[in-house]
Amino acid sequence: MKRMHIHIAVDDLELSRKFYAAMLGQEPTISKPDYAKWALEDPRVNLAISQKCGNQAGVDHLGIQAETHEELEELYTRLGDASYAMVDQKRAKCCYAESDKHWAVDPAGVPWEMFHTMGEVAVYGNDRASDVGKVLVG
């Protein structure tokens, strides 16, 4: 089986390592003074591209799609227990789907969307936490 690779450059490795360990629910598989890597079996990858999402081309945000409401709440609890601020969206309509979402921003300013999709909607929609970074980081 192939595995999607995502690499994020960060300013503060230790702060970022703590954020990702909390969000992913485990410590890194590899941890070096200037590098950390999680080789995960869960979550699988959902890759989306869109002309409507961001203001400019490039990575808009990253995310974890939960299969159940309970999995979504587990993600919320992990980050909340680690004292990370989040923005919540219930029944958001975006990307042709209706989803419950929790947004967080990692220490490098990368927005993360944790969501559970309940169904499809007929339009792209605009319920996005596009200013999540401003809301959570000030």
Residue with tokens 């993360």: 112
Average pLDDT for residues 48-54, to the nearest whole number?
Answer: 66
Q: Return the structure tokens found at 61.
A: 């945000």
Q: What is the pLDDT of residues 108-122, one digit of tens each?
A: 888 899 999 999 988
- Burial label for 78, CB within 10 Å (0-12, 13-18, 19+), is middle
Q: Return the structure tokens found at 52.
A: 């409507």
Q: What is the pLDDT of residues 55-104, one digit of tens each?
A: 677 788 898 999 999 999 999 999 989 888 889 999 999 888 899 999 99
Distance (Å) of CA 67 to CA 5, 43, 71, 101, 112: 21, 10, 7, 12, 17
Higher-pLDDT residue of 17 and 43 is 17
Q: Which amino acid is at 135?
A: V
CA–CA dist 90, 50 (Å, integer): 22
CA–CA dist 124, 130 (Å, integer): 15
Higher-pLDDT residue of 86 and 135 is 86
Q: For residue 29, what pLDDT is reported? A: 93
Distance (Å) of CA 112 to CA 44, 72, 84: 15, 13, 12
